[in-house]
Structure 1
Amino acid sequence: MDYKAIAQQTVQEVLGYSQDTSGWKVVKISKKVTVSSKASRKFQGNLYRVEGIIPESTAKLSDFLYQPGNRLTWDKSLKVYNMIQRIDSDTVLCHTITQSFAMGSISPRDFIDLVNIKHYEGNMSIISSQSVDFPEFPPSSNYIRGYNHPCGFICSPLSENREYSKLVMFVQTEMRGKLSPSIIEKTMPSNLVSFILNAKDGIKAQKTSSGYGFHPNTLSSFQNKK
Protein backbone atom coordinates (compact mmCIF):
# COMPACT_ATOMS: atom_id res chain seq x y z
CA MET A 1 0.00 0.00 0.00
CA ASP A 2 1.36 3.40 -1.00
CA TYR A 3 0.89 5.23 2.29
CA LYS A 4 2.69 8.36 1.09
CA ALA A 5 0.31 8.71 -1.85
CA ILE A 6 -2.69 8.19 0.43
CA ALA A 7 -1.36 10.84 2.80
CA GLN A 8 -0.96 13.37 -0.01
CA GLN A 9 -4.45 12.68 -1.30
CA THR A 10 -5.89 13.11 2.20
CA VAL A 11 -4.19 16.49 2.60
CA GLN A 12 -5.76 17.65 -0.66
CA GLU A 13 -9.19 16.48 0.46
CA VAL A 14 -8.92 18.34 3.76
CA LEU A 15 -7.85 21.46 1.88
CA GLY A 16 -10.88 21.03 -0.32
CA TYR A 17 -13.17 20.88 2.70
CA SER A 18 -11.69 24.12 3.99
CA GLN A 19 -12.43 25.86 0.69
CA ASP A 20 -15.97 24.52 0.43
CA THR A 21 -18.34 27.20 1.71
CA SER A 22 -21.68 25.72 0.61
CA GLY A 23 -24.13 23.52 2.43
CA TRP A 24 -22.79 23.84 5.97
CA LYS A 25 -25.35 24.00 8.78
CA VAL A 26 -24.36 25.29 12.23
CA VAL A 27 -25.38 22.60 14.73
CA LYS A 28 -23.75 23.88 17.93
CA ILE A 29 -22.06 26.99 19.32
CA SER A 30 -20.58 26.75 22.79
CA LYS A 31 -17.77 28.60 24.59
CA LYS A 32 -16.64 30.29 21.37
CA VAL A 33 -16.44 26.98 19.49
CA THR A 34 -18.65 26.54 16.41
CA VAL A 35 -19.62 23.16 14.99
CA SER A 36 -21.16 22.88 11.52
CA SER A 37 -22.08 19.81 9.51
CA LYS A 38 -23.11 18.63 6.08
CA ALA A 39 -23.75 15.24 4.53
CA SER A 40 -20.53 13.35 3.89
CA ARG A 41 -19.78 12.20 0.36
CA LYS A 42 -17.80 9.29 1.76
CA PHE A 43 -20.40 7.41 3.83
CA GLN A 44 -23.94 7.60 5.19
CA GLY A 45 -23.10 10.12 7.88
CA ASN A 46 -21.94 13.68 8.43
CA LEU A 47 -18.80 15.66 7.78
CA TYR A 48 -18.25 18.02 10.71
CA ARG A 49 -16.39 21.32 10.72
CA VAL A 50 -15.23 22.66 14.09
CA GLU A 51 -13.76 26.16 14.53
CA GLY A 52 -12.12 27.76 17.53
CA ILE A 53 -9.37 30.18 18.57
CA ILE A 54 -6.42 28.70 20.48
CA PRO A 55 -4.08 30.88 22.59
CA GLU A 56 -0.90 29.48 21.06
CA SER A 57 1.27 30.20 18.02
CA THR A 58 0.57 28.04 14.98
CA ALA A 59 3.98 26.34 14.98
CA LYS A 60 3.60 25.22 18.58
CA LEU A 61 -0.07 24.32 18.19
CA SER A 62 0.46 22.07 15.18
CA ASP A 63 3.29 20.24 16.93
CA PHE A 64 1.19 19.92 20.08
CA LEU A 65 -1.67 18.31 18.15
CA TYR A 66 0.60 16.08 16.07
CA GLN A 67 2.70 14.41 18.73
CA PRO A 68 1.29 11.32 20.45
CA GLY A 69 3.57 11.55 23.47
CA ASN A 70 1.35 13.90 25.48
CA ARG A 71 -1.98 13.32 23.75
CA LEU A 72 -3.51 11.20 26.49
CA THR A 73 -2.73 13.85 29.11
CA TRP A 74 -5.30 16.21 27.62
CA ASP A 75 -7.48 14.37 25.07
CA LYS A 76 -10.20 12.88 27.25
CA SER A 77 -11.85 11.13 24.29
CA LEU A 78 -8.98 8.61 24.00
CA LYS A 79 -7.63 5.87 26.20
CA VAL A 80 -4.93 4.62 23.79
CA TYR A 81 -2.92 6.62 21.24
CA ASN A 82 0.21 4.89 19.95
CA MET A 83 2.41 5.21 16.92
CA ILE A 84 2.81 1.76 15.38
CA GLN A 85 4.93 2.57 12.31
CA ARG A 86 6.80 5.57 10.94
CA ILE A 87 6.46 6.02 7.18
CA ASP A 88 8.71 9.11 6.99
CA SER A 89 9.55 12.08 9.19
CA ASP A 90 6.10 13.63 8.66
CA THR A 91 3.90 10.55 8.19
CA VAL A 92 3.05 7.84 10.70
CA LEU A 93 0.57 5.07 11.37
CA CYS A 94 -1.24 5.39 14.68
CA HIS A 95 -3.51 3.09 16.66
CA THR A 96 -6.14 4.76 18.80
CA ILE A 97 -8.83 3.46 21.13
CA THR A 98 -11.59 5.82 22.14
CA GLN A 99 -13.37 6.08 25.45
CA SER A 100 -17.03 5.14 25.52
CA PHE A 101 -19.34 8.13 25.30
CA ALA A 102 -22.99 9.16 25.19
CA MET A 103 -23.30 7.76 28.73
CA GLY A 104 -21.96 4.42 27.58
CA SER A 105 -24.37 3.99 24.68
CA ILE A 106 -21.44 4.22 22.26
CA SER A 107 -18.79 1.68 23.22
CA PRO A 108 -15.06 2.22 22.61
CA ARG A 109 -13.83 1.94 19.02
CA ASP A 110 -10.34 1.40 17.74
CA PHE A 111 -8.80 2.93 14.61
CA ILE A 112 -5.70 2.55 12.48
CA ASP A 113 -5.00 5.99 11.00
CA LEU A 114 -2.40 7.33 8.62
CA VAL A 115 -1.40 10.74 10.04
CA ASN A 116 0.58 13.38 8.17
CA ILE A 117 1.69 16.94 8.92
CA LYS A 118 2.35 19.47 6.18
CA HIS A 119 3.57 23.05 6.59
CA TYR A 120 2.74 25.87 4.20
CA GLU A 121 3.91 29.43 3.65
CA GLY A 122 2.35 31.88 6.06
CA ASN A 123 2.79 29.43 8.95
CA MET A 124 -0.30 27.41 8.06
CA SER A 125 -0.12 23.73 8.95
CA ILE A 126 -2.40 20.85 8.06
CA ILE A 127 -2.49 17.65 10.08
CA SER A 128 -4.46 15.13 8.07
CA SER A 129 -5.54 11.60 8.91
CA GLN A 130 -7.39 8.75 7.29
CA SER A 131 -8.01 5.18 8.34
CA VAL A 132 -6.13 2.51 6.40
CA ASP A 133 -5.71 -1.24 6.40
CA PHE A 134 -2.58 -2.41 8.18
CA PRO A 135 -2.24 -6.22 8.02
CA GLU A 136 0.26 -6.27 10.89
CA PHE A 137 -2.41 -4.82 13.21
CA PRO A 138 -5.69 -6.60 12.42
CA PRO A 139 -8.96 -5.90 14.25
CA SER A 140 -9.43 -7.65 17.57
CA SER A 141 -12.54 -9.07 19.16
CA ASN A 142 -12.19 -6.57 22.01
CA TYR A 143 -13.25 -3.52 19.99
CA ILE A 144 -15.33 -2.59 16.98
CA ARG A 145 -12.93 -1.13 14.44
CA GLY A 146 -14.14 2.25 13.25
CA TYR A 147 -13.09 4.12 10.15
CA ASN A 148 -12.05 7.74 9.80
CA HIS A 149 -12.70 9.08 6.32
CA PRO A 150 -10.41 12.04 5.47
CA CYS A 151 -10.13 14.19 8.59
CA GLY A 152 -7.76 16.90 9.69
CA PHE A 153 -6.73 20.01 11.55
CA ILE A 154 -5.89 23.28 9.81
CA CYS A 155 -3.85 25.63 12.01
CA SER A 156 -3.27 29.21 10.90
CA PRO A 157 -2.14 32.35 12.74
CA LEU A 158 -4.59 35.11 13.56
CA SER A 159 -3.64 38.20 11.59
CA GLU A 160 -4.41 40.48 14.55
CA ASN A 161 -2.37 38.42 17.04
CA ARG A 162 0.10 35.85 15.76
CA GLU A 163 0.50 34.38 19.23
CA TYR A 164 -3.02 33.01 18.72
CA SER A 165 -4.18 30.49 16.12
CA LYS A 166 -7.38 29.67 14.34
CA LEU A 167 -8.01 25.94 14.48
CA VAL A 168 -10.41 24.38 12.00
CA MET A 169 -11.04 20.67 12.40
CA PHE A 170 -12.80 18.34 9.96
CA VAL A 171 -14.17 15.03 11.19
CA GLN A 172 -16.10 12.28 9.41
CA THR A 173 -15.98 9.17 11.51
CA GLU A 174 -17.79 5.96 10.62
CA MET A 175 -18.37 4.28 13.98
CA ARG A 176 -19.60 1.01 12.50
CA GLY A 177 -21.37 -1.56 14.62
CA LYS A 178 -25.08 -1.42 15.37
CA LEU A 179 -25.54 2.26 16.16
CA SER A 180 -28.48 4.47 15.40
CA PRO A 181 -27.35 7.47 13.29
CA SER A 182 -29.49 9.70 15.53
CA ILE A 183 -27.35 8.83 18.58
CA ILE A 184 -24.19 9.86 16.75
CA GLU A 185 -25.73 13.07 15.41
CA LYS A 186 -26.98 13.98 18.88
CA THR A 187 -23.69 13.39 20.70
CA MET A 188 -20.97 14.23 18.16
CA PRO A 189 -21.23 18.08 18.26
CA SER A 190 -20.77 18.21 22.04
CA ASN A 191 -17.82 15.82 21.86
CA LEU A 192 -16.16 17.97 19.20
CA VAL A 193 -16.58 21.10 21.33
CA SER A 194 -15.05 19.21 24.25
CA PHE A 195 -12.05 18.26 22.12
CA ILE A 196 -11.24 21.92 21.41
CA LEU A 197 -11.73 22.89 25.04
CA ASN A 198 -9.53 20.00 26.20
CA ALA A 199 -6.81 21.06 23.76
CA LYS A 200 -6.91 24.60 25.17
CA ASP A 201 -6.63 23.20 28.68
CA GLY A 202 -3.73 21.00 27.62
CA ILE A 203 -1.84 23.95 26.15
CA LYS A 204 -2.46 25.98 29.29
CA ALA A 205 -1.12 23.10 31.37
CA GLN A 206 2.08 22.76 29.36
CA LYS A 207 2.71 26.49 29.74
CA THR A 208 2.31 26.41 33.51
CA SER A 209 3.97 23.09 34.31
CA SER A 210 7.72 22.74 33.78
CA GLY A 211 7.35 18.98 34.03
CA TYR A 212 4.88 18.69 31.17
CA GLY A 213 7.54 17.43 28.78
CA PHE A 214 6.27 19.12 25.62
CA HIS A 215 9.02 20.39 23.35
CA PRO A 216 7.74 22.79 20.69
CA ASN A 217 9.01 22.68 17.13
CA THR A 218 10.22 19.10 17.34
CA LEU A 219 8.83 15.83 16.11
CA SER A 220 10.92 13.80 18.52
CA SER A 221 8.04 11.66 19.69
CA PHE A 222 7.80 10.23 16.19
CA GLN A 223 11.30 10.58 14.84
CA ASN A 224 12.99 8.74 17.71
CA LYS A 225 10.91 5.65 17.03
CA LYS A 226 11.50 3.22 14.21
Structure 2
Amino acid sequence: MDYKAIAQQTAQEVLGYSQDTTGWKVVKTSKKITVSSKASKKFNGNIYRVEGIIPQSTSKLCELLYLPEHRVTWDKSLKAFNMVHRIDSDTFICHAITQSFAMGSISPRDFIDLVHIKHYEGNRVIISSNSVDFPGYPPSSNYIRGYNHPCGYVCSPVGENPAYSKLEMFVQTEMRGKLSPSIIEAAMPSNLISVILNAKDGIKALRSTSGCACHPKSHSSFLKKK
Protein backbone atom coordinates (compact mmCIF):
# COMPACT_ATOMS: atom_id res chain seq x y z
CA MET A 1 0.00 0.00 0.00
CA ASP A 2 1.40 3.38 -1.03
CA TYR A 3 0.77 5.26 2.20
CA LYS A 4 2.56 8.42 1.03
CA ALA A 5 0.41 8.71 -2.08
CA ILE A 6 -2.77 8.14 -0.05
CA ALA A 7 -1.65 10.79 2.46
CA GLN A 8 -1.04 13.38 -0.25
CA GLN A 9 -4.36 12.65 -1.90
CA THR A 10 -6.23 12.87 1.42
CA ALA A 11 -4.68 16.26 2.23
CA GLN A 12 -5.80 17.56 -1.15
CA GLU A 13 -9.31 16.27 -0.58
CA VAL A 14 -9.54 17.96 2.82
CA LEU A 15 -8.27 21.20 1.27
CA GLY A 16 -10.99 20.82 -1.35
CA TYR A 17 -13.65 20.43 1.33
CA SER A 18 -12.43 23.65 2.94
CA GLN A 19 -12.72 25.50 -0.38
CA ASP A 20 -16.13 24.01 -1.19
CA THR A 21 -18.91 26.50 -0.46
CA THR A 22 -21.87 24.73 -2.09
CA GLY A 23 -24.51 22.41 -0.69
CA TRP A 24 -23.70 22.69 3.01
CA LYS A 25 -26.68 22.89 5.36
CA VAL A 26 -26.24 24.27 8.89
CA VAL A 27 -27.50 21.60 11.29
CA LYS A 28 -26.43 23.04 14.66
CA THR A 29 -24.85 26.14 16.17
CA SER A 30 -23.72 26.56 19.77
CA LYS A 31 -21.26 28.83 21.57
CA LYS A 32 -20.02 30.35 18.29
CA ILE A 33 -19.39 26.92 16.75
CA THR A 34 -21.21 25.97 13.56
CA VAL A 35 -21.84 22.45 12.26
CA SER A 36 -22.88 21.97 8.64
CA SER A 37 -23.42 18.79 6.66
CA LYS A 38 -24.21 17.38 3.26
CA ALA A 39 -24.31 13.96 1.67
CA SER A 40 -20.91 12.32 1.40
CA LYS A 41 -19.66 11.19 -1.99
CA LYS A 42 -17.62 8.47 -0.29
CA PHE A 43 -20.30 6.43 1.48
CA ASN A 44 -23.99 6.37 2.30
CA GLY A 45 -23.82 8.98 5.04
CA ASN A 46 -22.92 12.60 5.68
CA ILE A 47 -19.79 14.67 5.70
CA TYR A 48 -19.73 17.21 8.54
CA ARG A 49 -17.99 20.56 8.64
CA VAL A 50 -17.36 22.15 12.03
CA GLU A 51 -16.11 25.75 12.26
CA GLY A 52 -14.94 27.84 15.17
CA ILE A 53 -12.37 30.39 16.31
CA ILE A 54 -9.79 29.03 18.75
CA PRO A 55 -7.78 31.31 21.08
CA GLN A 56 -4.43 29.81 20.16
CA SER A 57 -1.79 30.24 17.46
CA THR A 58 -1.87 27.80 14.56
CA SER A 59 1.35 26.01 15.56
CA LYS A 60 0.18 25.44 19.14
CA LEU A 61 -3.28 24.39 18.00
CA CYS A 62 -1.71 21.95 15.57
CA GLU A 63 0.25 20.13 18.26
CA LEU A 64 -2.81 20.00 20.48
CA LEU A 65 -4.76 18.18 17.77
CA TYR A 66 -2.37 15.37 16.90
CA LEU A 67 0.32 14.84 19.53
CA PRO A 68 -0.79 11.93 21.76
CA GLU A 69 0.53 13.52 24.95
CA HIS A 70 -1.87 16.43 24.39
CA ARG A 71 -4.74 14.74 22.54
CA VAL A 72 -5.58 12.24 25.25
CA THR A 73 -5.64 14.95 27.92
CA TRP A 74 -8.46 16.94 26.34
CA ASP A 75 -10.35 14.80 23.82
CA LYS A 76 -13.11 13.21 25.89
CA SER A 77 -14.41 11.35 22.83
CA LEU A 78 -11.34 9.07 22.91
CA LYS A 79 -10.37 6.20 25.18
CA ALA A 80 -6.94 5.93 23.57
CA PHE A 81 -4.91 7.56 20.82
CA ASN A 82 -1.48 6.30 19.80
CA MET A 83 0.92 6.78 16.93
CA VAL A 84 1.92 3.23 16.06
CA HIS A 85 4.07 3.52 12.93
CA ARG A 86 6.09 6.29 11.33
CA ILE A 87 6.22 6.52 7.56
CA ASP A 88 8.10 9.81 7.25
CA SER A 89 8.53 12.99 9.26
CA ASP A 90 4.98 14.15 8.60
CA THR A 91 3.11 10.91 7.90
CA PHE A 92 2.23 8.17 10.37
CA ILE A 93 -0.32 5.53 11.35
CA CYS A 94 -2.55 6.14 14.38
CA HIS A 95 -4.74 3.78 16.37
CA ALA A 96 -7.70 5.41 18.09
CA ILE A 97 -10.38 3.95 20.35
CA THR A 98 -13.49 6.05 20.90
CA GLN A 99 -15.76 6.34 23.87
CA SER A 100 -19.41 5.40 23.51
CA PHE A 101 -21.70 8.35 22.89
CA ALA A 102 -25.34 9.26 22.29
CA MET A 103 -26.11 8.01 25.83
CA GLY A 104 -24.49 4.68 25.05
CA SER A 105 -26.48 3.97 21.89
CA ILE A 106 -23.27 4.21 19.84
CA SER A 107 -20.73 1.82 21.30
CA PRO A 108 -16.94 2.36 21.19
CA ARG A 109 -15.20 1.92 17.84
CA ASP A 110 -11.57 1.62 16.93
CA PHE A 111 -9.89 3.14 13.89
CA ILE A 112 -6.59 2.74 12.08
CA ASP A 113 -5.88 6.03 10.35
CA LEU A 114 -3.16 7.39 8.12
CA VAL A 115 -2.42 10.88 9.45
CA HIS A 116 -0.51 13.50 7.48
CA ILE A 117 0.62 17.02 8.38
CA LYS A 118 0.86 19.42 5.44
CA HIS A 119 1.85 23.08 5.54
CA TYR A 120 0.50 25.64 3.11
CA GLU A 121 1.17 29.31 2.41
CA GLY A 122 -0.10 31.76 4.98
CA ASN A 123 0.74 29.44 7.88
CA ARG A 124 -2.24 27.22 7.08
CA VAL A 125 -1.84 23.65 8.31
CA ILE A 126 -3.92 20.64 7.33
CA ILE A 127 -3.94 17.55 9.54
CA SER A 128 -5.60 14.97 7.34
CA SER A 129 -6.59 11.41 8.10
CA ASN A 130 -7.97 8.44 6.21
CA SER A 131 -8.53 4.90 7.46
CA VAL A 132 -6.21 2.26 6.02
CA ASP A 133 -5.37 -1.39 6.49
CA PHE A 134 -2.30 -1.89 8.68
CA PRO A 135 -1.05 -5.42 9.42
CA GLY A 136 0.16 -4.51 12.92
CA TYR A 137 -3.38 -3.73 14.08
CA PRO A 138 -5.95 -6.06 12.49
CA PRO A 139 -9.59 -5.77 13.62
CA SER A 140 -10.28 -7.46 16.96
CA SER A 141 -13.38 -8.79 18.69
CA ASN A 142 -13.06 -6.07 21.35
CA TYR A 143 -14.34 -3.24 19.14
CA ILE A 144 -16.20 -2.66 15.91
CA ARG A 145 -13.65 -1.37 13.41
CA GLY A 146 -14.93 1.94 12.04
CA TYR A 147 -13.73 3.65 8.90
CA ASN A 148 -12.85 7.31 8.40
CA HIS A 149 -13.18 8.49 4.84
CA PRO A 150 -11.01 11.58 4.17
CA CYS A 151 -11.27 13.67 7.35
CA GLY A 152 -9.15 16.28 8.99
CA TYR A 153 -8.49 19.68 10.48
CA VAL A 154 -7.70 22.89 8.64
CA CYS A 155 -5.96 25.39 10.93
CA SER A 156 -5.46 28.97 9.74
CA PRO A 157 -4.40 32.12 11.56
CA VAL A 158 -7.06 34.79 11.98
CA GLY A 159 -5.73 37.68 9.91
CA GLU A 160 -6.25 40.50 12.38
CA ASN A 161 -4.99 38.44 15.33
CA PRO A 162 -2.54 35.58 14.62
CA ALA A 163 -2.76 34.53 18.27
CA TYR A 164 -6.19 33.16 17.26
CA SER A 165 -6.89 30.45 14.72
CA LYS A 166 -9.80 29.50 12.54
CA LEU A 167 -10.39 25.78 12.93
CA GLU A 168 -12.36 23.75 10.41
CA MET A 169 -12.95 20.08 11.16
CA PHE A 170 -14.22 17.69 8.50
CA VAL A 171 -15.66 14.34 9.54
CA GLN A 172 -17.12 11.57 7.39
CA THR A 173 -17.07 8.51 9.56
CA GLU A 174 -18.56 5.16 8.66
CA MET A 175 -19.42 3.72 12.06
CA ARG A 176 -20.28 0.27 10.71
CA GLY A 177 -22.06 -2.25 12.88
CA LYS A 178 -25.86 -2.25 12.96
CA LEU A 179 -26.57 1.39 13.67
CA SER A 180 -29.53 3.23 12.24
CA PRO A 181 -28.38 6.25 10.20
CA SER A 182 -30.93 8.36 12.05
CA ILE A 183 -29.18 7.68 15.37
CA ILE A 184 -25.85 8.84 13.95
CA GLU A 185 -27.33 11.94 12.32
CA ALA A 186 -29.11 12.93 15.53
CA ALA A 187 -26.03 12.47 17.75
CA MET A 188 -23.16 13.66 15.57
CA PRO A 189 -23.62 17.48 15.57
CA SER A 190 -23.64 17.78 19.38
CA ASN A 191 -20.74 15.37 19.65
CA LEU A 192 -18.68 17.41 17.19
CA ILE A 193 -19.37 20.67 19.03
CA SER A 194 -18.19 18.97 22.22
CA VAL A 195 -14.89 18.09 20.54
CA ILE A 196 -14.22 21.77 19.77
CA LEU A 197 -15.23 22.89 23.26
CA ASN A 198 -12.97 20.22 24.77
CA ALA A 199 -10.10 21.44 22.59
CA LYS A 200 -10.57 24.94 23.98
CA ASP A 201 -10.36 23.51 27.49
CA GLY A 202 -7.19 21.67 26.47
CA ILE A 203 -5.61 24.92 25.38
CA LYS A 204 -5.96 26.32 28.88
CA ALA A 205 -3.91 23.42 30.22
CA LEU A 206 -1.36 23.68 27.42
CA ARG A 207 -0.68 27.32 28.17
CA SER A 208 0.93 26.38 31.46
CA THR A 209 3.72 24.55 29.61
CA SER A 210 6.16 25.68 26.94
CA GLY A 211 5.01 22.95 24.53
CA CYS A 212 6.67 22.23 21.23
CA ALA A 213 6.08 23.65 17.80
CA CYS A 214 4.31 21.70 15.12
CA HIS A 215 7.22 20.40 13.04
CA PRO A 216 8.64 16.92 12.31
CA LYS A 217 10.66 16.49 15.51
CA SER A 218 7.60 17.25 17.60
CA HIS A 219 6.09 13.81 17.23
CA SER A 220 9.05 11.48 16.68
CA SER A 221 9.56 10.56 20.31
CA PHE A 222 5.94 9.56 20.78
CA LEU A 223 5.85 6.92 18.07
CA LYS A 224 5.45 3.35 19.17
CA LYS A 225 7.04 1.05 16.64
CA LYS A 226 5.07 -2.08 15.78
Normalised-by-shorter TM-score class: over 0.9
1:218 deviates by 4.7
Residue by residue, what CA displacement relative to the aligned partner does 1:161-185 show, whole Å, maximum 9, x if unpaired? 1110000010000000000000000
1:64/1:216 contact within 8 Å kept: no
Give structure 1 stretches of 5+ with no counterpart: none
The question of whether the paired residues in 2 share the 8 Å contact of 1:68 and 1:221 is answered with no
Q: Is the 8 A contact 1:58 1:155 kept in 2?
A: yes
Quote the residue 1:222 is aligned against: 219
After TM superposition, the structure 1 = structure 2 runs for residues 176-191 of structure 1, keeping only pairs within 5 Å, are 176-191=176-191
CA contact (8 A) 2:212 2:218 kept: no
Please say if 1:17 is aligned against 2:17.
yes
| Poorly superposed stretches of 4+, deviation over 6 Å | none
What TM-score do you get using the length of structure 1 for normalisation?
0.95
Displacement after TM superposition at 1:219 (Å) = 4.6
CA distance in 1, matches of 2:214, 2:25: 35
Partner of 1:32: 32
Q: Distance in 2 between matches of 1:218 and 1:127?
A: 12
Distance in 2 (CA, whole Å) between partners of 1:120 and 1:59 is 12
Shift of 1:220: 4.4
Give the Cα–Cα distance (whole angstroms) in 2 for the partners of residues 158 and 66 of structure 1: 21
CA distance in 1, matches of 2:151, 2:114: 10
Pairs aligned (count): 223
Q: Evaluate the alpha carbon distance shift between residue 89 and residue 77 of structure 1 in structure 2; reply closer, same or farther with a 3 A threshold.
A: same
CA distance in 1, matches of 2:110, 2:17: 25
Aligned to 2:202: 202
Give a deviation string over 1:109-135, Cα, whole Å, max 9, x none.
000000000111110000000000012
SS at match of 1:215: coil
Identity percentage over the alignment? Answer: 75
Residue 206 of structure 1 deviates from its aligned partner by: 1.3
Matches within 5 A, 1:1-226: 1-207=1-207, 209-210=208-209, 214-220=211-217, 222-224=219-221, 225=223, 226=225
Q: What code does the residue aligned with 1:73 have?
A: T
Spell out, residue by residue over 1:127-147, the C-alpha distance to the aligned partner (whole angstroms, 9 max, x if none): 000000012210000100000
Q: Which AA in structure 2 matches 1:126?
A: I
What CA distance in whole angstroms lies between the structure 2 residues aligned with 1:151 and 1:75? 17
Task: Output one character per residue of 1:189-216: Cα deviation in whole Å (capped at 9) or x when no partner.
Answer: 0000000000011001111x34xx7323
Q: Equivalent residue of 1:69, what SS?
A: helix
Q: Provide the rounded CA distance (Å) in 1 between the counterparts of 2:211 and 2:67.
A: 9
The answer on whether the counterparts of 1:66 and 1:117 sit within 8 Å (CA) in structure 2 is no
- Counterpart of 1:76, as a letter, is K
Q: Tell me if structure 1 keeps the 8 A contact 2:53–2:164.
A: yes
- Contact 2:89–2:217, Cα closer than 8 Å, also in 1: no
- List per-residue Cα deviations over 1:24-55 (Å, max 9, x = no partner): 00000000000000000000100000000000
For residue 215 of structure 1, what is the amino acid of its counterpart? Answer: C
Q: Distance in 1 between matches of 2:217 and 2:161?
A: 28
User: CA 1:181–1:188 in structure 2 vs 1: closer, same or farther (change >3 Å)?
Assistant: same
Q: What RMSD in Å do the two structures reach over aligned CA positions?
A: 1.2
Which residue type is aligned with residue 99 of structure 1?
Answer: Q
Which runs of 5 or more residues in structure 2 are unaligned?
Answer: none
For residues 21 and 119 of structure 1, the distance between their equivalents in structure 2, rounded to whole angstroms, comes to 22
Q: Distance in 1 between matches of 2:66 and 2:120?
A: 16
